[in-house]
Amino acid sequence: MHPAPSLIAFTTLSGLGFGLLAWLGLGLPSVTGVTAFVFFTIAYVLAAGGLLASALHLGHPERAWRAFSQWRSSWLSREGCASVAALLVMAAYGAALVFWGQRIAWLGWLGAALSLCTVFCTAMIYAQLKTVPRWHTPLTPALLLSLCLAGGALLAGQISLAWPLLIAAAVLQLLAWHHGDRAFARSGTTLGTATGLGARGQLRAFEPPHTGTNYLLREMAFEVGRKHATKLRGIALTLGYAMPVLLILLPGAHVTAALAVLSHIAGILASRWLFFAQAEHVVGLYYGRHTPRT
């Protein structure tokens, strides 16, 4: 699928922001006053900034508020409701830390749970789609949640938690790639199953649906070269996981920690670009795309 910059920024930045909010809600790190204000500012800039970036992908951003009404059936609506609830609860929790120096534990735990719930809802927007076999797996929410916790721990300065979480996220990333490369073939989806004519034998298109481009080809049938994908995976693993682990285990405190965060963000941006670019939508079968791996 077409890797829209707004969605890449949204899923990367909001995950980091809500991850940091989750750790702050758990009291890690234990901060008050100005220090708490700095941590919460970073978290809100990332979380709210990511959510705002997602609105740029809408055809009519001014109608985004309508999504909140469909929470019974839509993961997108649930994500919106959970994100607003998380931001409001954490605002009250953060205000108590900044202005009164008091930690309201139950409020922090609630805010942490809502923050993780938001990321889970985001992941389920993609994991629910049977039309994209690469995403339709429990590995999708597992990976996004692990990155949320790992990136949040990195931003929160929780070194003892960050490096094992980064390693766990890297393992899930490798599993997601391994499973995803074969997911389309394993789904059994073909032009025959899509049209209901598969029982008549092997089906092939007589000629393309049309000679020009259209919305489906632009958005749902994007293809990335395998060589480029391999290079980007190497970049994502190196910058997103390996380098941050090495940097936070080196002496140097704030400098190496800052470099670790920047490296992690760069790597996850590359990983998230692939997340969309390699997602084969079944509609591509109508245009002769997506020759699945076996």
pLDDT in tens, 215-263: 667 777 777 767 789 999 999 999 999 999 999 998 877 889 999 999 9
Last residue of a domain, one of 88, 113, 128: 128
Average pLDDT for 84-113: 97
Question: Number of folded domains in the chain?
Answer: 2
Whether 206 and 136 map to the same domain: the answer is yes
Whether 273 and 187 map to the same domain: the answer is yes
Please tell me the pTM assigned to this model.
0.92
Whether 225 and 175 map to the same domain: the answer is yes
Last residue of a domain, one of 106, 128, 150: 128
Whether 260 and 185 map to the same domain: the answer is yes
Q: Which of 178-182, 195-199, 289-293 has the highest mean pLDDT?
A: 178-182
Whether 46 and 172 map to the same domain: the answer is no
Residue 292 pLDDT greater than 70, yes or no: no
State which residues form the domain around 100. 1-128
Last residue of a domain, one of 93, 128, 163: 128
**The token pair that represents 58 in the structure block:** 């809408």
Average pLDDT for 86-102: 97
Whether 26 and 106 map to the same domain: the answer is yes
Whether 137 and 120 map to the same domain: the answer is no
Whether 142 and 233 map to the same domain: the answer is yes
Predicted local distance difference test score (pLDDT) of residue 294:
44
Whether 112 and 177 map to the same domain: the answer is no
For the chain, the first-to-last Cα distance in angstroms comes to 20
